[in-house]
Amino acid sequence: MANKNAGTEELKIVWNQNKQRFETEDKKAYLEYHLINNGDSQIMDILHTFVPPSKRGLGLASHLCIAAFTHADSHSFTVIPSCSYVSDTFLPRNPSWKSLVHKGDAKSSL
């Protein structure tokens, strides 16, 4: 089957555990997070999402968020959406992920 989007490659998001971020393979677009220990559980504080101007409008920020929320869900983390893109754009557009939002009193590291 021919690719109708000639010139575009399949998007792959990579988890960079050492840098605490999810990134595109070229590392130009990324989502940064910080893990907070909360007793016997952990909270993923999503701090920042960045997509360079040349790659905006392709849905990369959303794909980065989905990778982060999927990771949080699979590790039983809750999420603090400190990043304004996550809180103001991604979550309102993707309400099914709101169940992972932390409801306690843990504060962002910022």
Q: Write out the catalytic residue numbers.
A: 83
Q: What are phi and psi of 55, to 5 degrees?
A: -115, 5
91-96 contacts at long range (C-beta below 8 A, 24 or more positions apart): 93/62, 94/62, 94/65, 94/66
